[in-house]
Structures are given as C-alpha cells and as structure tokens.
A and B are shown apart, each in its own frame.
Chain A
Amino acid sequence: QSALTQPASVSGSPGQSITISCTGTSSDVGGCNYVSWYQQHPGKAPKLMIYDVSNRPSGVSNRFSGSKSGNTASLTISGLQAEDEADYYCSSYTRSSSLYVFGTGTKVTVL
C-alpha cells in the first residue's frame, strides 16, 4: 500500500488561505468518505483536525475545512495564523490489505 501523495511544503502569509491536497486511488480516498487530517507540531503527538472528509471535531477552529473530489482530498486553512505552522497529514481507510494509509505529509510555513 503506497502512501497518499501530499505536497512537501505549502506556505502563506498571515491572513491568507492555503490548501493542502491529498491524492490517493479509488481503493482509498476515492472509494470512501473516511478521510481525516492531522496537525503535528515539532516533538508533539498528532492532533485530529478533520474527520469523514469535512467534519470538524469540537474545539478545532472553523478556519480549518476539508473537502474531496474524486481521488483527491483537500484541507483548507483560512485566515492563516502563526500557530498553524506545523506538519499536516491526511489519512484514509483503504480496501487494500492494510486498513489505513497516511499521506506523505506537508510542512506548512507561515511567512
């Protein structure tokens, strides 16, 4: 099972919006609505930001939103803030022999 494909890095200025893509196949991202997104600051454990493609857990800022089209899921961060600087990973349930697959990860830099 290959990892889902994410851009290595995305950057933006404070207040701007950025979008991180997550591309898989019809066996994972394209074949279900079980895509989630995680934020990880250096030396910290990952934190759930989005589940089931577009649902936001309580306590997560509404500046974070998720969507999906075909085999590609996306995470959008609007009103970018310094605290959003972190690594972001997508994950999807998969029909392959492994149950879940993660994305390659994207480093978000706030300029």
Chain B
Amino acid sequence: QITLKESGPTLVKPTQTLTLTCTFSGFSLSTSGVGVGWIRQPPGKALEWLALIYWDDDKRYSPSLKSRLTITKDTSKNQVVLTMTNMDPVDTATYYCARGLPISFWFDPWGQGTLVTVSS
C-alpha cells in the first residue's frame, strides 16, 4: 500500500518561509522514473502544480513560482521537502504531495493534504 502524508505549519506570517515535508511509504524514490510532486489548492479554487523531484534528483518547478520554490529529497528517510519563500496571503491553500509516475506524467496516489494559512 502506497501512502503519502504532508506535515508542516498550519499558519505562517507574510514574508516568512514555508517548509513542508512529505513522508511516504510503499515505494522508493530511488526507483527509476519515479518522482514526488507538490500541488496546491486555494480554498474553493483549482489545483495548481508547484514542483516535482525525480529519483535521479532532477527537479522541476512551476515557471510562475520557480524563484520562490526549492524541492529536495532524503531517500533514506522516504521524505521530500518543499520550501516556499516570501509567503503571501494569496498562498493560503491546501498543499498536497503525490507520487509522480513516469511516461504519462500523472500523480497517484495523493496525500491527504495540509491547509496552510498565511496571515499576520
């Protein structure tokens, strides 16, 4: 059974840096082709892809947010970490991590998500 779970602060202040951790089980991030991605969803709005890291440490970022994002992995701990700098209230959203599958470029399964609120 493959599971992913997001963890991190539920409340951050404007201008602060957000650090989220995705802890997963049931698959290895050292398996060729596999990745872990981050996707967010503001309340009542659509899904937005943020970043993805592949088994070989190849990293991909959303062009619109690239300057603010960093994604890293710790294969031995089965964890992927996303940092987002200079947080703003518009970044208030549920943040999901998900396993990224090769060839077809899709996500499955997803973590339960974690709601991050940006407010002073």
To the question of whether A and B form a pair in one complex, the answer is: no
